[in-house]
Amino acid sequence: MGAMDVWLADAARVRGRRDMERFTRLHPEAVVDFAGNDYLDLSRHPQVVAAACEAMERHGAGARASRVVTGTLQVHARLEQALCQLTGREAALVFSSGYTANLGILGALSSPDTLLVLDAHIHASLIDGARASRSPVATFAHQDLAALDTVLAERTQRRAVVAVESVYSVLGDATDLAAMVEVCRRHDAVLVVDEAHGIGVLGQGRGAVHAAGLADADDVIVTATLSKALGSMGGAVLGSAALRDHLVNAARSFLFDTALAPAPAAAAASACAVIEAEPSRVQRLHDVADLLANELGVARTPGAVQSRPMPSAADAFRVSQQLREAGVLVGCFRPPSVPDGISRLRVTAHSDAAHSDVCRAAQLIRELTSVGAPA
């Protein structure tokens, strides 16, 4: 056995001990999907798919270069315009993913004299962005405004940037953005809001920042993924025109990354238009989320993500496998992927889910976890 084999075998043993093996399995087409993030079922919307095909025909399969070399295409400009129209923001800059958008914004705002302050439940991409940045980093207890106030008040750095999610990806809880921005403003801190699970879902699809009346606020920056409610892939940072100019010059994951391919860019722009044209789609998503939470017997979260705590990691894995065998996909989240350490099934609503599928999935989950039907 070579040194590399020993190394990898050691790592596999540790995963095995923690019951933390992950897989990239092919999922059969004929499943009921309550695990994905295609909240508005736009990834297969005819208009969205047609826009992608047309862009691929016209511009080719790839963007061929970074945006600052020859990679900026008409589809990128149209997408940025569509994102601004949907969210009410002045300017947008599109990245190749939500992950690189988050790396880009934190890196571009960082300096040794800027404290980055992260909510303890923040997504891995913002943690990685903070780690890779030139800034010192602090965290505050999840959603704890008093703790945030203390961190900001006691900082020695001139500037501060606070990062939160509008809707948290695993627990599904939402941030009180009005209260959060008030604390930030008290301490001259900029607020970065990751709307990966907010855009297309909250505020009639325009996002939580728009719903909170903060679309015009220069000190509130939005990051987004195009891979969830917009049904495509890619990411974006939305804010002022000056912020966009700064990112074009300072965000390394924008500068040194090939531009988003034409097809997903056109698909996401089309998805923005569909959200504006079909408000009933967002309403249907919320109706499904209401039903799902009710049938699961859990408190309804504000977004699409409903979360069902499980007694143990082994139970979460067992039930998710049994559901899979029955043709129902749900997310299985176990430590270390759960911020509060509690294993859970993550069950996501989507607008076109059939009433009967929601009821069947919830009934199976109840039966497999030996919990009685809701009253």
Ligand X SMILES: Cc1ncc(COP(=O)(O)O)c(C=O)c1O
* Using rule CB under 6 A, residue 348 touches ligand X: no
User: Is residue 305 within 8 Å of 175, Cβ to Cβ?
Assistant: no
- Which residue of 99, 140, 254, 333 would you call a contact of ligand X, by CB under 6 A? 99
Q: What is the DSSP string of 188-257?
A: TEEEEEE-TTTTTTSGGGT-HHHHTT-TT-TTEEEEEESSSTTSS--EEEEE-HHHHHHHHHH-HHHHTS
* Using rule CB under 6 A, residue 227 touches ligand X: yes
Minimum distance, C-beta of residue 186 to ligand X, in the bound complex (Å): 26
Q: What are phi and psi of 205, to 5 degrees?
A: 95, -10
The smaller minimum CB distance to ligand X, of residues 102 and 135, is found at 102
Provide the pairing of β-strand 235-239 with 159-165.
Answer: unpaired
C-alpha distance from residue 319 to each of 67, 114, 326, 330, 367 (Å): 45, 45, 11, 9, 10
* Using rule CB under 6 A, residue 196 touches ligand X: yes
The smaller minimum CB distance to ligand X, of residues 168 and 362, is found at 168
User: Is residue 210 within 8 Å of 189, Cβ to Cβ?
Assistant: no
User: Is residue 321 within 8 Å of 357, Cβ to Cβ?
Assistant: no
H/E segment holding residue 140: strand 137-140
* Using rule CB under 6 A, residue 97 touches ligand X: yes
- Stretch in the footprint of ligand X (CB under 6 A) among 77-85, 94-102, 109-117, 143-151: 94-102
* Using rule CB under 6 A, residue 80 touches ligand X: no
The smaller minimum CB distance to ligand X, of residues 126 and 365, is found at 126
- Stretch in the footprint of ligand X (CB under 6 A) among 76-84, 92-100, 180-188, 209-217: 92-100
How much is the CA Rg of the chain, to the nearest whole Å?
A: 21
The smaller minimum CB distance to ligand X, of residues 125 and 343, is found at 125
The smaller minimum CB distance to ligand X, of residues 193 and 217, is found at 193
Q: Pattern of binders to ligand X over 139-178, x per CB under 6 A?
A: --------------------------x---x---------
Minimum distance, C-beta of residue 97 to ligand X, in the bound complex (Å): 4
Cα separation, 310 vs 324, in Å, equals 17
* Sign of the four-CA dihedral 278, 283, 285, 287: negative
- Which residue of 41, 86, 91, 98 would you call a contact of ligand X, by CB under 6 A? 98
- Which residue of 225, 232, 270, 348 would you call a contact of ligand X, by CB under 6 A? 225
Q: Pattern of binders to ligand X over 40-79, x per CB under 6 A?
A: ----------------------------------------
Contacts of 29 by beta carbon, 8 Å cutoff, 6+ apart: none
* Using rule CB under 6 A, residue 123 touches ligand X: yes
- Stretch in the footprint of ligand X (CB under 6 A) among 7-15, 58-66, 95-103, 292-300: 95-103
Question: Which residues ranging from 265 to 284 are in contact with ligand X (CB under 6 A)?
Answer: none
Tell me the HSE value of 198 on the side-chain side, using a 13 A CA sphere: 26
- Which residue of 194, 257, 295, 315 would you call a contact of ligand X, by CB under 6 A? 194
What residue is closest to ligand X based on CB? Answer: 98
> What size, in residues, is the chain?
375
> What are the residues facing 164 on neighbouring strands?
193
The smaller minimum CB distance to ligand X, of residues 252 and 366, is found at 252
Minimum distance, C-beta of residue 38 to ligand X, in the bound complex (Å): 12
Minimum distance, C-beta of residue 161 to ligand X, in the bound complex (Å): 16
Contacts of 333 by beta carbon, 8 Å cutoff, 6+ apart: 170, 316, 343, 344, 345, 346
The smaller minimum CB distance to ligand X, of residues 83 and 362, is found at 83
The smaller minimum CB distance to ligand X, of residues 35 and 196, is found at 196
* Using rule CB under 6 A, residue 125 touches ligand X: yes
Cα separation, 307 vs 121, in Å, equals 15
Q: Would you tell me which residues interact with ligand X (CB under 6 A)? A: 97-99, 102, 123, 125, 165, 169, 194, 196, 225, 227, 235
